[in-house]
Amino acid sequence: MRNPDLVVSIQEEDFSAADLESDLLRAGGPATGACVAFTGYVRGANTGDAVSAMELEHYPGMTEKSIAAIAGEAFGRWPLGAVRVIHRVGRLLPGERIVYVGVAAAHRREAFAACEFIMDYLKTRAPFWKKETTDRGERWVEARSSDTSAAERW
């Protein structure tokens, strides 16, 4: 069996989903027949308030390790060719990309499932925290119980 091909990057810079997809297809090799990707963006409004900026904090070292562990779990559950996880940190503006999870696999079913699984686990386990700037000042985003239930179904 091929070794799982995983890249995790925590970065301030933006990324190109098109470039990442080319990289996934190359890394997945000739058996790749499906590529599923999710891109998350900064919302310009949250819980009724306009959001003018967002600051993302993380726990350097642990973040990379926890995402690698989540991806490792996905590799154990589904036959996957390659996985890419990019998460931005620092100051971001509405409409900017925050996160990318891309999965290459032989067939669509495992690619869809693994992409969603990695996102659900990332949201509830990877040590990132968002702070929003709104008209009413800055506030830390509260964790949502719907995210916890989404991760619990796997």
Binding site for another protein (CB under 8 A): 40, 56-59, 61-62, 65-66, 87, 98-99, 119, 122-131, 140-143, 147
The amino acid that residue 16 corresponds to is S
Nearer to another protein, 59 or 112 (CB): 59
As measured in angstroms, the least distance from the Cβ of 86 to another protein is 12
**Separation of alpha carbons 151 and 97, rounded Å:** 22
Nearer to another protein, 42 or 80 (CB): 42
As measured in angstroms, the least distance from the Cβ of 107 to another protein is 25
Nearer to another protein, 31 or 69 (CB): 69
The amino acid that residue 45 corresponds to is A
Question: How many CA atoms does the CB half-sphere of 124 hold within 13 Å?
Answer: 16
As measured in angstroms, the least distance from the Cβ of 117 to another protein is 13
As measured in angstroms, the least distance from the Cβ of 125 to another protein is 7
**Separation of alpha carbons 128 and 42, rounded Å:** 14
**Separation of alpha carbons 91 and 113, rounded Å:** 31
Q: Nearest 5°: phi and psi at 130?
A: -105, 135
Nearer to another protein, 3 or 146 (CB): 146
Measured over all CA atoms, what is the biggest interatomic distance in the chain, rounded to whole angstroms?
A: 54
As measured in angstroms, the least distance from the Cβ of 27 to another protein is 23
The amino acid that residue 8 corresponds to is V
Nearer to another protein, 32 or 58 (CB): 58
> Contact at 8 Å (CB) between 103 and 111?
yes
